Amino acid sequence: MLVYGFINSLILALIALGFSMTFGISRVANFAHGAFYVLGGLLTWLFLRKAGMPYFVAAILAVLIMGILGALMYRFLLQRLRGLELSEVIATFAVGLMILELMRCFGVMGFQYRLPAFVRGSVSVFGTYVGIQRLIIVGAGLVLLILLYLFVHHTKLGLAFRGVAQDDHTAYTVGINPDKVSMLSLTLGAMIVSLAAILILPLGTISVDDGYDILLKSLAVCIIGGLESTLGVLVASFILGYAEILTVMYISASLSMVVPLLCMLIILLIRPSGLFGKYKELEERI
């Protein structure tokens, strides 16, 4: 249980990381996040199965395309709506719905839409057998978190990201273009969630309905942890990951999907900015 709780927690973190990062920098709550996840997985599947590309090339190409899609969504849609938070949410949600429902419309259904595992088989971890793919997810998730930390804290672009995240007007005065940085944050968010899809989807099949589920889980993780806090994402993922597995283990499996929503509600009631969020801290104090 401890082992699977840990793995499930990192899977949740990986899913929510892109959403949190995008919001943290650009303040855009990308409600197309779940759709990007499914589309990223589907593109990889298409390149792999239909175009016959090697797995690695298919994955890289899919991640790049998703990055471009994220950039285009910002440039041609969100840039015009900057500052209108509700409109941004509605617009991204509409893009997500459009992507998912178009996939459904074009017949993305059935069980053949499945990405193969990178490595088949399982190994014993503390006496519990775990699929190697899950261990790859754990490793890749940790590496991604470290790389992101290094990128944000030790590169010029990363520092620009932080600058805009702290105050976009001030960032502007020192020559950082907030629009460009926000566009890049959407790009990076889309690329991260696509990468997450490529890592996680070999555990099951690609399903359009996953898009809604991923969005819901990302929202739950980010709201609990604090919308813009990477540390919060990590902590919230562990809270939810273990809460879910404990619920199935000791209460009822049918309540497992209620857990994220319940945790989200409780946090919203007692600390609206989340465990590590600062977005509404001032309002909370007042």
Partner 1 sequence: MKKRILYVFVSLIVAFCWTFPLSAMAAEKPIVVGVPSSLKTLEASEALKAITMAVEEINANGGVQVGDKKRPMEIASIDTRGGEPGVPIADALLAIEKLFLEKKPDAVVLGPFRSEVLLAAMDIYSKYKMVSINVAMTPKFVSKYKGDPEKYKYCFRMLNAKYVVGYLIKTFSKLKKDYGFNNVYIIVQDVLWANAIGKGMKGWFEKAGWKVAGLDSYPTGASDFSASLIKAHKAGSHVIMPIFDMASSGTLALQWKDMRVPALPVGFISPLMGSKAAETFGADVVDGVVNIVFEAGNIPLAKYEPATRFFDAYKKRWGEELQAGHMPSEAYDSVFVLAKAIERAGTLDQDQLIKAIQETDYAGCIGRIRFKDHEIIFGENPLEKSILVIYQWKDGKRVPVFPASIAEGPISKPKWMK
Q: Name the nearest CA neighbour of 225 among 260, 257, 183, 188.
A: 260
Q: Is 82 a binder of partner 1 (CB under 8 A)?
A: no
Cα–Cα distance measured from residue 241 to residue 47, given in angstroms and rounded to the nearest whole number: 32
Instruction: CB nearer to partner 1: give 98 or 257.
Output: 257
Q: Where are the alpha helices (DSSP H) in the chain?
A: 2-26, 33-45, 55-73, 85-105, 132-154, 156-166, 168-173, 178-200, 210-225, 230-246, 258-270, 281-285
In the Cβ-directed half-sphere of 239, how many Cα atoms lie within 13 Å?
23
Contacting partner 1 within 94-113 (CB under 8 A): 104-105, 107, 109-112
Q: Does residue 244 interact with partner 1 by CB under 8 A? A: yes
- Per CB under 8 A, 248 contacts partner 1: yes
Asked if 78 and 191 count as a contact pair (C-beta separation under 8 A), the reply is no
By CB under 8 A, residue 209 contacts partner 1: yes
State phi, psi for 32 to the nearest 5 degrees: -90, 5
In the complex, what is the shortest distance from the CB of residue 244 to partner 1, in angstroms, rounded to a whole number?
A: 7
Taking CB atoms within 8 Å and a gap of at least 24, the contacts of 249-257 are 249/1
Q: Which of 60, 203, 231, 275 binds partner 1 (CB under 8 A)?
A: 203
204 binds partner 1 (CB under 8 A): yes
Show Cβ contacts of residue 222 under 8 Å, excluding neighbours closer than 6 positions: 16, 19, 20, 23, 232, 233, 236, 274
Closer to partner 1 by CB, 131 or 158: give it. Answer: 131
- Residues in contact with partner 1, shown as a per-residue x/- string from 253 to 272 under the rule CB under 8 A: xx-xx---------------
79 or 116: CB nearest partner 1 = 116
Q: Total residues at the site for partner 1 (CB under 8 A)?
A: 37
Using rule CB under 8 A, residue 37 touches partner 1: no
- Is 213 near partner 1 (CB under 8 A)? yes
Q: Which residues bind partner 1 (CB under 8 A)?
A: 1, 4, 8, 104-105, 107, 109-112, 114, 120-122, 128-131, 133-134, 203-205, 207, 209-210, 212-213, 244-245, 248-249, 252-254, 256-257
